[in-house]
Amino acid sequence: MIKKIDQIRTIGLIGHSSCGKTSLAEAILFNSKAVKRLGRVDDGTSIMDFEPEEIKRKVTLGTAFHPYTWKNRRFNLIDTPGENDFLSDTKICLQAAEGSIVVVDAVDSIKVGTEKVWAFSEEYDLPRLIFINKLDRERADFYKVIEEIERTFSIKTTPIYLPVGTENDFTGLANLIRLKAHLYKSDGSGSFKDGDIPDSMAEIVDTWREKIMENIVEANDDIMEKYLDGKELTPKEIEETFIEGVKSGIVVPVIPGSATLNIGVGQLLDIIDQSSPFPTERGKVKGHKVDSVEKVEFDAVDEAPFSALIFKTLADPFAGKLNLLKVMSGKIDSESTIFNSTKKVKERLGQLLSIEGKKQTPINTANVGDIAAIAKLKETTTGDTFCQEDKPIVFDPAKPFLPTISFAIEAKEKENEDKVYSSLARLVEEDPTLKVDRDQSTSEIILSGTGQIHLENTRDKLKRKFGVEINLKTPKVPYRETIKNSREKIIYRHKKQSGGRGQFAEVHFDISPLKRGEGFVFDQALTGMNVPRNFVPAVEKGLVEAMKSGVLAGYPVVDMKIRFFDGKSHEVDSSEMAFKIAASMCFKKAVQEATPILLEPIMNMEITVPEDAMGDVIGDLNGRRGRVLGMDSDGKNQIIKAEVPLAEVLRYSFDLTSMTGGRGSFQMKQSRYEEVPAQLVEKVVSVSKEEGR
C-alpha cells in the first residue's frame, strides 16, 4: 500500500530482559542497509549496545536510537531496556514513539517485564506488533506462547504467519493471507524464496486462517458483512482491512521469527511500514499554556507552530550533556534561538545531531517526528518543552520512577570526594531516576536508584566517564535522640585555674521534652545580673553544638526545650568560651537525668503486589514491625498501605522481588520519628560505639 505522507515514524522495541530486542534491532538495521554488518550482542559487536557496561553484562542498560529507511520511507528505531531497574528509561523514551514492537521469547514466554512494558504501550495508546523471537531454540513453542499472550493480556492475537519447522528445523514462515511459504537461507543474510506451504501444515493453516480472518474483518463493517455472507475476500481487501485494524488497535498482529538467524525480520519490516501510524495520523499534539491548565493543540505537521519535548539527556565527559528532543509539530533549524516554555528562558541552539547508536551525525533541520540531539544547552533538562515564544505550549512529560533502593557511597580515594559529588550531578542530569543526597546526621552521601544493578551500573559509569571510584555500602539509619521527662534546676559549673587567667562559668537550666517534630527551643529567662547578657549567644551556641551528639548513641538530639534562667560569672575569668563549655556540659548532665530515649524514622509505604502474593507480603511486613493501614485495588493488583521502621526496610527491594517473582513494586517516604523499642536500643547503641560515634 503506497502512502503519500513523508513523515518519519519512531518505533520502540520493548520486552523483558534478554528476549532479543537488541538482536532484532541489529537485524532490522542490517536488512534495511542502515549498517553493513549484522551485529551480535554475544560477540560485543552490537551497534545498539555500545556502552562498556552493556557489552560486559550482555544486556541493554540504556535506550539506544538509530534511523533506518525501508522502501524509501524513514523510521527511527528505539531499542529500550527490559531489565527491571531501567524500565523508567523505557517508559520515558516511549513518549517519542508512534508504535511499538513487543518482543516475546519463544522459550521463556511472558515475564513480568513483558507485562510492565505492555502497560506502558497501553498508557500511550501505541499500536503494537508482537514478534515471537528465538523460534530456532530448543523448547521454543510458538502456539503455547500465543495462548499465554492471549491469556495474560486479554486480547485476540492475529498471527498472520505461522512458523515452518520447529527448533533447529525452523526455516521460514507460512503466510496465512497469501497462502505461500517464505523459506530462508541459513546464512543469516535474511534472503528467502517463496514456495508452497508444506502439506503437513495444511490442517493448522486452515484452522489459523479462519481465526485470523474473524479478527481482521472486525476492523471494517462492510468487509465483515461480505465475509459473513460467505463471499470470497481478495488478498488486497484482507491486507487493507488488516492494516486498518492494526492502526485502530483492534488487530494485534503476531510475527514468528529468529533475530539471530534473521528469519521473519523482512516480513516484520513490511508490516511496520504498512501499519504504523505517521505522527499526523496519531492526532493533534496536546499540551497546555504556560502557567495555565488551559489546553493548547497543534497539528502534527511541518507547517504548524514548532514544539518539541526534551525526553532524554546523555552525559558525555567530552561533549558535555546532549539533550534529545522529539519534534512534535513544526520544524527547527540548527543555530537558531528557541523558547524553553518550562523554564521560561530562551536557548541558543547549536548544531542539530542525528543519533545513530554511539555516532552523532550533523543535520540541518529537524521536522515533525524527528529525534535530534543538541549539545551544551545551558538551562534545559529532561522533561522540558521547546516551542515558539509567540505560540507557547507546555507538554506534561512522563515522570521517572521513584528510587526504591539506597546505598551510602564513599570515594575510594579521599581526595576525590568533591569530584564524586560533581560527577554524580552530571549523571543525575542523564538519569532522572538517580537521586543524590547528603544525610547531615550521618554525614553520608546517599545514592538512590531503582535497583542494585542500576546503582552498580552508575558506579561503573563514574569510573569510566569521570575517573572516580566509589564503594557502595548499606546506609546508616538516621536515628535521633530525645528525652521523656522534665527536670528543673540542673546546674553545672565550669572552673579551670592553671596559672594566669582562669576559666569560670556557671549555668542553671530547666529541661523539658517537646512534641515530635518541634525541634529545639532555647528560652532565655534570665533575671538579675548574675550572667552578663553578652554571654547568652555563647550559651545557645554551646547547646546547639552539644545537640549534634546525644548521650545514648551519639545521634543528634531533637524535640526539647532548654530554659536558661540563672547562672554565675566572674568579672575576670568568665568568657564566651567558658560559658559555651558550661552550657554543653550542663546539657549532657540534664539529658542524662531526663530519661534519654532513641528515636527511629518511620516510613509510609505503598506496596503494589499481585493478589496471590498479598498474604506473604503482609506477613512479612508484620515481621518487620510494620503496621498495615489499609488496602486498595488496582486492576489485577492490590496496593498495601503500611508504616514500617526504616531500619527494617533498607534492603526491601530484594525481598519484595523474591516474594512476588519481580511483580511487586513499592514507594516510600518518611512519615515521622517514633521511640525505638527498649529491646532494640542496646543493639543500636552497640553498633554506634563500634562506628565510633
What whole-number distance in Å separates Cα of residue 334 and Cα of residue 106?
A: 45
The CATH architecture annotation of domain 481-594 reads 2-Layer Sandwich (3.30)
Please give the biggest Cα pair distance in the chain: 117
Q: Give the type of residue at 134.
A: K
Cβ atoms of 409 and 439 within 8 Å: the answer is: no
Regarding pTM above 0.75, the answer is yes
What number is the average pLDDT over the span 30-59? 87
* pLDDT value of residue 3: 45
Structure confidence at residue 317 (pLDDT): 64
Alpha carbons 160 and 649: distance in angstroms, whole number: 49
Contact yes or no for 93/63 (Cβ under 8 A): yes
Equal CATH topology for 285-387 and 408-473: no
Give every CB contact of residue 588 below 8 A, 6+ residues apart in sequence: 546, 551
The helix/strand/coil state of 342 is coil
Instruction: Look up residue 672 and give its three cell numbers.
Output: 515521622
Q: What grid cell was written down for 400?
A: 521517572
Dihedrals φ, ψ of 159, to 5°?
-75, 100
CATH for the 9-208+250-277 domain, from 3.40.630.40, 2.60.40.10, 3.20.20.70, 3.40.50.300: 3.40.50.300
Q: Residue 152: which residues within 8 A CB-CB, separation 6 or more? A: 110, 114, 115
Contacts of 466 (CB under 8 A, 6+ apart): 317, 419, 423, 426
The arithmetic mean of pLDDT across residues 106-123, rounded, is: 92
List all residues 6 or more positions away from 302 whose beta carbon is below 8 Å from its beta carbon: 330, 331, 367, 368
Q: What is the mean pLDDT of the chain?
A: 92
Lowest-confidence segment of 141-150, 232-241, 263-272, 299-308 by average pLDDT: 232-241
- Does the pLDDT of residue 528 top 90, yes or no? no
Which three cell numbers mark 231?
463471499
- Spell out the domain ranges in the chain: 9-208+250-277, 285-387, 408-473, 481-594, 600-690
pLDDT reading at 2 higher than 60: no
Q: Which CATH class is domain 285-387?
A: mainly beta
With a cut of 80, say whether residue 79 has pLDDT above it: yes
**Pairing mode of beta strands 405-411, 470-473:** antiparallel
- DSSP symbol at 391: B
CB 627 within 8 A of CB 581: no
Report how far residue 59's alpha carbon sits from residue 81's, in angstroms, rounded to the nearest whole number. 8
Distance of CA 293 to the CA centre of its chain: 26
Non-local CB neighbours of 560 within 8 Å, separated by 6+ positions: 482, 483, 511, 512, 513, 514, 520, 521, 591, 594
Phi first, then psi: give them for residue 412, nearest 5 degrees: -65, -30
Q: What is the mean pLDDT of residues 326-342?
A: 96
Least confident piece of the model among 380-384, 402-406, 567-571: 402-406
Per residue in 228-241, pLDDT tens? 888 888 888 888 89
Tell me whether strands 9-14 and 73-79 are parallel, antiparallel or unpaired. Answer: parallel
Q: Which of 288-292, 349-353, 461-465 has the lowest mean pLDDT?
A: 461-465
124's CB contacts (< 8 A; 6+ apart) are 94, 95, 97
- For residue 499, pLDDT over 70 is answered with no
What is the DSSP code (8-state) at residue 303?
T
Mean pLDDT along residues 468-485: 92
d(CA 535, CA 571): 12
- What end-to-end distance do the CA atoms of the chain give, in Å? 74
Using alpha carbons, list the distances in angstroms from residue 679 to 477, 598, 684. 17, 12, 10
* Topology at the third CATH level for domain 408-473: Alpha-Beta Plaits (3.30.70)
Return d(Cα 450, Cα 461) in angstroms, integer: 16
Distance separating alpha carbons of residues 674 and 678, to the nearest angstrom:
12
Please state which of the four CATH numbers 3.40.50.1000, 3.90.1170.50, 3.30.505.10, 3.30.70.240 is assigned to the domain occupying 600-690: 3.30.70.240
